[in-house]
Amino acid sequence: MPTIYIDDKPYEVKAGQNLLNAVLSLGMDLPYFCWHPAMGSIGACRQCAVKQYQDENDKQGRIVMACMTPAADGTRISIDDPEVQQFRANVIEWLMVNHPHDCPVCDEGGECHLQDMTVMTGHNYREFRFKKRTHRNQDLGPFINHEMNRCIACYRCVRFYDDYAGGDDLQAFAAHDHVYFGRHEDGVLESEFSGNLVEVCPTGVFTDKTLQRHYTRKWDLQSAPSVCHHCGLGCNTLAGERYGTLRRILNRYNRAVNGYFLCDRGRFGYEFVNSDDRIRVPQLRYRGDKDTEEISRDDAMRQAAEMLDTSSGLVGIGSPRASLESNYALRKLVGKDRFFTGMSENENHLVSEVFDILRNGPARSASLDDIRKADAVFVLGEDVLNTAPMAGLNIRQAIRNQPMEGVEEMGIPEWHDAAVREVVQGEHGPLYLATLTGTKLDREATDTYHAAPEDIARLGFAVAHELNDDVPAVADLDQDVQQLAEAIARALQNAKRPLVISGVSLGSEEVIRAAANIAWSLSTAETPADIHYIVSEANTLGLGFFESGGLDSALEMVESGEADTAVILENDIWHRAAPEAVESFFDTCKQVIVLDHLETGTVAAADLLLPAATFAEGDGTVINNEGRAQRFFQVFAPEEPLQESWRWLGEMCKQQGNDPRWNSHDDVSNMLFQDIRTFAGLVHVAPDSEFRLNNQRVPRSPFRYSGRTAMFADRDVHEPQPPEDPDSPLHFSMEGTSKQQPSGLTTFFWAPGWNSVQATNKYQSEIGGSLRGGDPGVRLIEPSKGATPEYFTDIPEQFSRDATEWVAAPVHHIFGSEELSARAEGVSQLVPDSYVVLNPADAKRFGDGEEITVALEIGSSIYTERVKTDSTLPEGIVGVPVNIEELSKIQLPDRANITEAESV
Amino acid sequence: MDKPLTQHVNVESPPDLKAYEQAGGYQSVRKMLKEMAPEEVTELVKNANLKGRGGAGFNTGLKWSFVPMGEDAPQPKYLVANADEMEPGTFKDRVLMEGNPHLMIEGMINAAYAIRASEAYIFIRNAYKLSEKRLNQAIAEAYEKNYLGENIQGSGYNLEMKIHVSAGRYMCGEETGLLNALEGKRATPRAKPPYPQLSGLFGKPTIVQNVETLCNIPGIIVNGVEWFKGLSLTDEGGTKLYGASGKVKNPGCWELPMGTTAREILEEHAGGMQEDLQFRGLLPGGASTDFIIEEHLDTPMDYASIMEVGSRMGTGTMIILDDQTCPVAMLENLEHFFAQESCGWCTPCRDGLPWAEKLLHAIDIGEGKPEDIEKLESTSKWLGPGNTFCALAPGAVEPLQSGIKYFREDFERHIKEKRCPWR
C-alpha cells in the first residue's frame, strides 16, 4: 500500500487512487466540485488544489489539483499551506462573481454543496462590484427546475446526463463565462435518470420540481431510510416528510444496490402518498350501490369481525406491492391454504419458476452492483430502461469494463475520466439485446434481435447449446439467428464476468428458462455465473417465498363456493385477471374486505374498506428481485386510524380468537421467520426496536428541525409528545444520536460542514465503497454452488403469425406501467395516452394515412385505440401498453382480434 | 541570405505544383522516401534544434520521438497542422499558406512520414478563406502527382490529407483544444498527461505542429543540420518569420535569421515609429507575452534570450505600443479578447479574466479605485501556470502583469484623475 505525506505526516492509502479520493477516504476535508465518486476526475473547477513537494527539502512546492494527481508512494502534499488555502478561497471568490444572492430563496439552501465549500474555504467578502451575467431558464418538464444564474460550471450535469447515463438532450452550450447547460429548446428531459441532476448539481441550478410544489428546507424534514416501491429492484431511498405530507425522495447510498443514483420513477413516484384519492378512514363502501359511509376504527373492526364470523370460508388475496409482514398477516388470518399471492396466475407461475431457478441452480442471482461489474451482458426479453431502469443504467457502466483493460495498459488511471473516455472513444464490451421491439438501449448494443417471445427463447436456447452440449440444440433455426447465437456464446465464454438478464415482463416461461440454461452452462463448480431476473413489483420475489397460488386460484375458491368472504390486501385485482373472471368474482363473493391506499376498481367493489399505510407511513420488509431483503422504516406517523395492513390484519386475527400479540414490528417479523424457514435470514435485516446507541434512539430529524412544538398549536397549545415508535430504534424527533449508527438506520446523511448529499462520503469505509458496517439488506437466496442443474429441454416452436388471431404482447412504460407511481402528480403528466402498436405493414390493413384507429377484442372486451407503428415489432403481434387506462384490465400475453374502427 | 520559408512566397499568385517543383519543391519528399527511415528523419530534425514556431519553442524532433513506433504501435497515427493562427497580432502563417501552400504540404509529408502517420489534417481558422482555397488546390495537385495518397512516389508509404475548417475559437489553437474540436467535441483542452503522442486525435498517437515549423522541415532534410544552424545568429537554428504591428511606419512580416534583435526588426524593417510618436514598449510574440521596453530592445529575438528579460518570444510577431495610445485601453482590449475566448472550462480563467476586464474598463473610464491595481496584480499572480487548466489564462495575464509593472503610473493617473489622460 502506498504511503503519502500530508503536511509531513505519513498515511497509508489504497493503491491506484488520486489524492482527492485518498484524502477524503482518510476522513479529511478538502473542497471540490467537479470530481464525483461515480464519475471520476476532470480537473476543471480547480477547487481541490493542494501544494505538492518534490521531496523533504523542497520548501517551495507547487500547486496541483488533488483530483488529477495520483496518490503514488512517496507523494508529499500540504493541504494547510497558506498559499494554497488562499488559492482555494480565491476559487470560491471567482465562482461568487456571478453567483446570485439567492440563498434565502433557493431550494438548495441548507443542503447546498456550494454553501459548504464556501464555508470550508473561508471566503466571505465580496469585492466584485460589477454586474453579474444572467441566463434565461428553461422549462424542462414536470420533474426538474432550471435556474441557470446559479451555475458554477462544474460540468457535472452533462457528465452525468450524457457520459454516465447516455442522454443527449442536455448539453453544454456557448463558452467563457456564458457557458449554458440546458436543452436546445424547452421541453421534457428525455433521460430516465434526469432526477439525479438534483443531487449531482452542487448548487440550485437543477432542483426537484415536485419538492418545490410543497417546499421545505432539508433541516426541517423528518426522514427515514426507505425502499423504493415502484419496481422490483429495491433501490434504497430516504423519504422526507413535514406537516404530514411526503415532500421528496433522495437517494440512499447502498453500494450493493443503487449506488449513487435513482431512476425518475422511483424519485418522483412518491407523490401518490399525498394524493387526494388517498383512503384515510375506514369506510363502508356498499360496492358503490349506496353512498360511502365513513366509520370509526372500532366500528370498522366490529364490522370486520361480523363479516368474518358470518363467513362460510375466507380467502386472502395478497399483493406483490405489500410488505412481507402484511402478506404474512393475511396468511395468518385466512390460513395457509386460503392465502394467495394476488399476482396474476401466469405471473405467479413465472415468479415461482424464477425462485426455483435461483435457489436450486448453480447460477448466482446478481445484484445491481454485480451488473455494473459484468463485462459481457446478454438480455433476454426485457426492455430494461422501462421495466427496471436502474439495471439499464448499470448495464451502461458494465459495457465500459472490457475497454478499460486497454486503458490500464496505457498507464492511464481509471479515475482520469476524460482521458479514459478519449482512449476508449465509442468502444464498449459485448452487449446483446433480444427484445420484443427496439429499445433506447439498442444503440449501445453490439447486436440486437427483435422478435416474438418464443423466438427470443429459441435464441437463448441456441446460445446455451453453443456453450454446452448437454443442452439440446434448437431445430430449424434461421441461419442468421444461429450465427448470432454463436457470437453471443463466444462473447459470454470469453468474458471474465458474463451476465444473463431476463425477467417476467414478456410473460414468457420459455424466455426465463432459456436464460437459466445459459447461466447454468456458464457456471462452473468454483464460479457461479451471474443471472439477473427482473420482476414487476417491490415484493414480487418476496411473495415467491410463500410458495402460494396466484389470483385465479383465489377467484376459483369463491366460484366453487369454498369461500364467500375475501380479504384483499393492497391489490387492484382488475389488473391481474381477465375482466370477466373478476366481475364474476365480485358478483359471487358475498363479502369483500379491502385494505389499500388509493381509490381503485377493487376499492370501488369493496364492502368494507380499511385505510392501509403506505411505505412512508409504516414499517415493513420487502425482497427485491436479487433476493435481498430490505427493511423500510416509517417516515412519519400518519393521522389515525391509518396504520399498516399487518396491524389491521393482526387485530382481525385477535378478534377471531387467534391473537398473534403483535405489539410491534419485531413481533410480526420474528413470527414470520420462525414460521416460514426460508425467511430465516430476515433476523439480520435491521436492528430490532430495542437497539440503542448510548441508550439513545436514532433521530429522524436533524437537530436544526424547527417548529416541533408550534406545529399543532392551532389545535392544541400544549407541547406535544413525539409519537411513540414501538417498531424501530428510530425516534420521531431530533433528539437522539446519529453517530455510528448501523448503515440501515441512516435517516439522513450529514456531517459537520457537509450539509449536502456529499456527506455520504463520511459514511463510507472508502470513497465509492460500501457503507461502514456493510451495506444494508440481506441476500436470502444463494445458488446451489456446483450443483448439476436440470436443464430445461422444452424448446418452443418458431413464432408464426396466426391467420385469424393476433398475439397481444406487453409493452412497458417507465411512467404508467407501475400502478402507484402513475398516480403521482408529476409522473402522471408523462404517462402516455392509451394506444396499441403494430408493425407498419400490419397497420396498413386497418387504414391509410396517419391516424388509424382499431377495435381490439380480447376475451369479451373490446377496446378502441389509436394505432402507433413500430417497424421493429414482429408482424402478427400487437403491442399493448401495460396498465395504461382501460388497457390495464388486459392480461398479457393473450390472443386478440383486431378490426378497423372509427376514430376515438 | 537564405530565405527558405519565403523564397518562393507570392501572395498575389502562389506557385502551383509545377512551378514549385521546378524551383526545387518536393525534393525533400523524394530524398526522404528513398534514403531515410522514419526514425532518421526524427533524429535529423532533433539535431537541427528546430524549435516549435507556434509559441512554445519545444524541440520539434524531440516531440516526435515520443510517438510510439514499430509494428505494435496503435493505428492510425495522425499528423495535424495547427493553422488556427488566432494569437492577436500574429499573421505569419497566413503569409506562408497564401503565398506558398505547397511548402507546408511538403513539410507535413516529411513530419507524417517521420512518425509513420497515415492521416494528416490541416486545422485552419475560419477566417483564412483564401488560405483554405489555395491549400485545397495544392492538396489536389499533390494527390494528382502522387505526393499524397497511396504508395507515394512508389515508396509504399500512404498518406491521406484533408482540411478541416474551424468553427472559430481561439481555444482551437491550443493543441488539445484543437484535437477536441477536430473530433467534433467542444473546444476545451485536455489534461496532460496523457500527451497527444500517446492519446491524441481519436485517442491515437498524434503530433500537432505549427505551420511555420512544418515549413522549416523540407530545408533541413535537403540541406542538413549544419546549414540550418548556420542560418541563425544564435544557437537556435534556422530563420524566423518576424512581424510587427502597431503605429510603426512599415508594419509587416519578414524572414530573418533567428536571433535578430528586436531593435533591428523595429527600426530597420518596420521603419521605426510613425511621425511624432515615441516607442513605449512591445509585446514580442503576440498578445499573450510580457511587455519589453526600450532597455530590452537589443535582446536577440530567440526563445531563450527573450525569456531572460522576463518575456516570451511566442510567435515572434510584435505588437508595438506608442506613447499616444493609452496602455490601460490597450490592456482592456487584450483582456476583453482573452475573457471572451476563454473556453469556460476552469474557474480562474472563466471567472477571473472577465473581472480583470471589468476592472480595466472601470479604470479606463475614470471609475477605477486604488485597490483595483492590486486586484489586477493578484489576479495575474493567481492565474499562473498549473493553477489553471491550460495556458490561455497564464498567457492572458502576461501583458497585464508586465503592463502594470512598466506603466503603473499611467494606471494611477487614471484612478487619481478619474479619467483617461489620453482622451
pLDDT at A692: 95
Q: Which of A77, A93, A94, A155 to mutate to test the interface with B (most CBs of B within 10 A)?
A: A94
Parallel/antiparallel/unpaired status of strands A698-699 and A836-838: unpaired
Inter-helix orientation angle B101-115/B211-223, to 10°: 80
- Interatomic CA distance for residues A551 and A343, integer angstroms: 6
- Interatomic CA distance for residues A468 and A169, integer angstroms: 44
pLDDT at A210: 98
B342: contact with A, CB 8 A cutoff: yes
Among partner residues B194, B202, B382, which is closest to A419 by beta-carbon distance?
Answer: B194
Per-residue confidence band for A893, with pLDDT thresholds at 50, 70 and 90:
very high
Q: Is the dihedral of CA A460, A461, A466, A469 positive or negative?
A: positive
pLDDT tens digits for A471-511? 999 999 999 999 999 999 999 999 999 999 999 999 999 99
pLDDT tens digits for A380-398? 999 999 999 999 999 999 9
Q: Flag if A128 and B362 touch (Cβ within 8 Å).
A: no
Per-residue confidence band for A618, with pLDDT thresholds at 50, 70 and 90:
very high
A178: contact with B, CB 8 A cutoff: yes
What average pLDDT does chain A have? 96
- Other beta carbons within 10 angstroms of residue A187's beta carbon come to 12
Helix (H, G, I), strand (E, B) or coil at A509: helix
Amino acid at B308: E
Among partner residues B340, B344, B375, which is closest to A179 by beta-carbon distance?
Answer: B344
B202: contact with A, CB 8 A cutoff: yes
Per-residue confidence band for A34, with pLDDT thresholds at 50, 70 and 90:
very high
The answer to whether A66 and A30 have CB atoms below 8 angstroms apart is yes
Q: Is the pLDDT of residue A647 over 80?
A: yes
Q: Is the pLDDT of residue A904 over 80?
A: no
Among partner residues A64, A98, A411, which is closest to B351 by beta-carbon distance?
Answer: A98
A641 Cβ contact list (under 8 Å, min separation 6): A281, A282, A296, A297, A300, A611
- Interatomic CA distance for residues B164 and B173, integer angstroms: 13
What DSSP element (H or E) covers B292?
none
Q: Is the pLDDT of residue A362 over 90?
A: yes
- Interatomic CA distance for residues A682 and A623, integer angstroms: 10
Parallel/antiparallel/unpaired status of strands A498-503 and B119-124: unpaired
pLDDT at A784: 87
ipTM value for the complex: 0.96
- Interatomic CA distance for residues B360 and B355, integer angstroms: 9
A85: contact with B, CB 8 A cutoff: no
Phi then psi for A481, rounded to 5 degrees? Answer: -70, -40
Residue of A nearest to B354 (CA): A177
pLDDT at B1: 77
Strands (E), A570-619: 591-596, 608-611
Inter-helix orientation angle A113-121/A82-98, to 10°: 140
Distance between A804 CA and the closest CA of chain B, angstroms? 52
pLDDT at B56: 85
DSSP string of B323-359, one letter each residue: TTS-HHHHHHHHHHHHHHH--S-SHHHHHHHHHHHHH
B182: contact with A, CB 8 A cutoff: no
- DSSP 8-state symbol, B279: E
- DSSP 8-state symbol, A833: P
Distance between A157 CA and the closest CA of chain B, angstroms? 14
A176: contact with B, CB 8 A cutoff: yes
Among partner residues B202, B344, B387, which is closest to A177 by beta-carbon distance?
Answer: B344
C-alpha grid cell, residue B420: 483617461
The percent of residues above 90 in pLDDT, for chain A, comes to: 94
Strands (E), B180-278: 206-210, 239-246, 252-257
Distance between A763 CA and the closest CA of chain B, angstroms? 29
The answer to whether A253 and A260 have CB atoms below 8 angstroms apart is yes
**HSE, side-chain direction, 13 A CA sphere, residue A277:** 15
pLDDT at B39: 97
pLDDT at A426: 87
Classify burial at A584, counting beta carbons within 10 Å of its beta carbon; exposed 0-12, middle 13-18, buried 19 or more: middle
A127: contact with B, CB 8 A cutoff: yes
Locus of grid cell 414468457: A508
Q: Flag if B347 and A47 touch (Cβ within 8 Å).
A: yes
The percent of residues above 70 in pLDDT, for chain A, comes to: 100
A130: contact with B, CB 8 A cutoff: yes
Distance between B397 CA and the closest CA of chain A, angstroms? 16
What's the mean pLDDT in A341-350?
Answer: 97
Classify burial at B3, counting beta carbons within 10 Å of its beta carbon; exposed 0-12, middle 13-18, buried 19 or more: middle
Nearest to A344 by CA among A140, A573, A541, A617: A573
Residues of chain B with pLDDT under 50: none
C-alpha grid cell, residue A31: 473542497
- In A283-320, which positions are buried (b, 16+ CB within 10 angstroms) versus exposed (e)? bbbeeeeeeeeebebeebbebbeebbeebebbbbbbbb
Q: Flag if A45 and B347 touch (Cβ within 8 Å).
A: yes
Q: Flag if B186 and A172 touch (Cβ within 8 Å).
A: yes
- Other beta carbons within 10 angstroms of residue A444's beta carbon come to 17
Phi then psi for A70, rounded to 5 degrees? Answer: -65, 140
Q: Which of A128, A177, A179 to mutate to test the interface with B (most CBs of B within 10 A)?
A: A177
Residue of B nearest to A44 (CA): B346
- DSSP 8-state symbol, A559: H
- DSSP 8-state symbol, B49: T
Q: Flag if B375 and A422 touch (Cβ within 8 Å).
A: no
Distance between A176 CA and the closest CA of chain B, angstroms? 4
Size of interface A-B (CB pairs under 8 A): 104
